[in-house]
Structure 1
């Protein structure tokens, strides 16, 4: 697919997977070692290999050419599979360029850990780096980039912060399977609300019922969630919907939007109106949602939310007194704002310098010369925006 990059870390050949996605190996990468793994109930080819790195004070970066002033979804995944035969679960950092993204914490050898971010490309290349292992060895299974068109996920803060995904949920899902490409042309992964996790989508209100339709949904606006996701929903038959999510980094400032579409054929004397109950946020709590009216018709997307909200992440919807039907929810997304670190002072100069030595291994370390860890042959000071003080 144009605008799609899918890298099988540790792989040795190109192939097309069962979804029609084209994968390429990272065999040109000069750092780290590769090995095969096995995990119960997992046979997708991209997860059968990993590339791993020494647990030292360096960073190890993959660099991708991108289009400036374009937003990208960046997705990384990690399947440990006890690749080092040590049963020591790794813990290490991952960064986008000079900006810390998150800490990868492996709790189970056979569970895939996935992280996604949306970032505006401000330079012709993006680097994804692993570093700072505190246990085990840093490793990576896959890296994916997905080009976003137009204004998807535009925020007024995108030159200061990128978005790190906290939750993207398909409500009313009929199976535990996620929805992604080709149903979602941008290959976002919409997790089923049927998946059970500790402290995730719990405290569900009594009377919550799943509904679905086969009628196509008009999703040609805003963030364009896939029609397949919008064709299912939950409704609060007793007048309310309630979910509690314990998300890393929250309460905190984030981007949060709900996706609604009226997919029931209401009778002429029936009406569905409800509020999002959010203590401490009068603006959103006062918002009355009438999905069919707000979307201007049935089977069409309506997407209210906030570009900058601090949430405890208890989602609660209550029908209004004049409503005959309980609230509906088709999907939602929650991202946390992550501060962008705009590189060390010598970054541009050093990029030009190493570009003259494309065949030298030392010139291919990638990322920022100082952040989050310095290249192996430079020394940087400890200023907030560091500068190189020596090379050796």
Structure 2
């Protein structure tokens, strides 16, 4: 027992020493102004939004075709009645006996196919179309922003069978056995075009995601007749809801696309600055760098204060760079060991991103990935995506 106690004391000493080092993620949130992907002419400050419904004539033609079909059906029914009426009783009897020809009934009115909703274009423009950092004007804006809708397009309607109790359709469990539903495919393509006052086209594209078919599913019924009855009574309302949902979703996609391409939106960045501390070892540069970086990041919200932000961030980078000069990942006793190196690399990589030092950010992230620490691999991947996007936007706006 006398030998055991000293050993226990030594073990406790090493445990305390090993746990003395603390690497804490100080969560931060700050705003920055995201640059556009498509640079606009210098002095551009306003835009005029417009929505074009390019499918209106098609809808009108579809409706006119149905009216003609109804008129023809009624005319044929009336003609059949007159011809039947003009027959003698003898002819009527013979035709009924030999041809099973009976007295004509009322006209069979053809069912109208669903026609895309014609929305109010000015309302859509006012509700959805916007560009961050620019003023909306009713006419003669520096930019003309046109969003064109090609209307709701219905694809195949496919009967499907649903089996099992685990699948829910229409908010209700399908229960045991087979149930019947329809899958309805549809799309509602949207395009965007942006031009300057002098007619220069800055952007002219179809929003690709809006030009692919989406599949909706009706609620399921125990019998095919139950499904058919539902469809006869509710097809129009069901299709109208799909139409409205597609319009809202795709208009938002178009607006987000336009804003990413041409707007100057304020984005909130949620991140962390890693701070190292130890009861035995001096890590004073880490809280100092944290304070400087945080001040700099907070200043990014105001582009006019970019020089002040860069000054603070550069001072933080200098402290982290000096620490990295001591990096020795293979030595667990080193002041800047593997884990401290990883935390410092991440801090410095993000800071260089906001200084537009993208090559340095890439280099630091590459070093971080080589350490292959799970926690930092995830962070590095997310930061790498942001850095690529920022680099692309920075290059696009160099001339401006």
Q: Larger % of strand: which?
A: 1
Q: Which has the larger radius of gyration?
A: 2
Does the pair score TM above 0.5? no
TM-score by length of 2: 0.25
TM-score by length of 1: 0.26
Q: Larger % of helix: which?
A: 2
Q: Which has the higher contact order (CA 8 A, sep 6+)?
A: 2
